[in-house]
């Protein structure tokens, strides 16, 4: 369904599962385990796994906060895209990486739900990608102090509205970890 020509492949996009991003995140261990199981599934099925790693003042390149969590290890041949903006496409090599892999469909996991996950989902969708969010493999920290809803509500709301996204020639939707099908191009929004 993607509107991108000659891009029949799917990739697992793992966004910002870094010590300083998910350290205090909602259901951190469950989400990291779900991401890990999807990474292993993608590798078994020869689906590209593309890692995204954020850096900024709180995530200084090379620092412990910047590192990907110890439970997950990018494979030596798996692309790692460094970013400094919420949208993983913005001023990065992500588009070139995905184009080179013939990817037109993304299965998205990681953190933070209300920042980089949302920005990247929208960035992918407007660029012509099919974009599926794994509903139990993304998380965020508690930002209620600044007026945000509790993390479980942020996650639930994001899952709800992403399952309803529509655009000509593209699919969006959500799916649970156990139901991810990297080979399917069906609209997963209703699962």
Residue 116 annotated among the catalytic residues of the structure = yes
Instruction: Give me the percent of the chain exceeding a pLDDT of 70.
Output: 96
74-119, pLDDT tens digit by residue?
999 999 999 999 999 999 999 999 999 999 999 999 999 999 999 9
Residue 44 or 183, more confident: 44
121-141, pLDDT tens digit by residue?
999 999 999 999 999 999 999
Q: From CA 37, how far away is CA 31, in angstroms rounded?
A: 10
Q: For residues 175 and 188, is the Cβ–Cβ distance under 8 A?
A: yes
Candidate list 49, 116, 133, 155, residue with the active-site label: 116
Q: From CA 32, how far away is CA 27, in angstroms rounded?
A: 9
Instruction: Supply φ then ψ for residue 16, to 5 degrees.
Output: 55, 40
Beta bridge partners, 52, equal: 15, 81
Report DSSP state, residue 101.
Answer: T
Q: For residues 88 and 96, is the Cβ–Cβ distance under 8 A?
A: no
- Whole-prediction pTM: 0.94
Give the model's confidence band at 7: pLDDT under 50 very low, under 70 low, under 90 confident, else very high.
very high
């Amino acid at each position: 369904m993607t509107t991108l020509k000659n891009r029949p492949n799917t990739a697992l996009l793992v966004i910002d599962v870094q010590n300083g991003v998910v350290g205090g995140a909602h259901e951190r261990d469950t989400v990291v385990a779900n991401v890990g199981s999807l990474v292993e599934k993608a590798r078994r099925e020869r689906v590209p796994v593309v890692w995204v790693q954020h850096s900024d003042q709180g995530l200084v390149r090379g620092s412990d906060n910047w590192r990907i969590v110890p439970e997950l290890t990018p494979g030596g041949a798996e692309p790692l895209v460094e970013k400094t903006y919420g949208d993983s496409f913005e001023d990065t090599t992500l588009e070139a990486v995905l184009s080179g892999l013939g990817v037109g469909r993304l299965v998205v996991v990681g953190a933070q739900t209300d920042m980089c996950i949302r920005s990247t989902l929208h960035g992918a969708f407007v660029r012509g990608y099919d974009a599926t969010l794994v509903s139990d493999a993304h998380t965020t920290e508690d930002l209620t102090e600044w007026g945000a809803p509790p993390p479980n509500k942020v996650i639930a709301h994001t899952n709800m509205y992403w399952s309803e996204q529509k655009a000509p020639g593209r699919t969006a939707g959500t799916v649970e970890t156990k139901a991810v099908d990297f080979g399917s191009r069906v609209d997963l929004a209703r699962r």
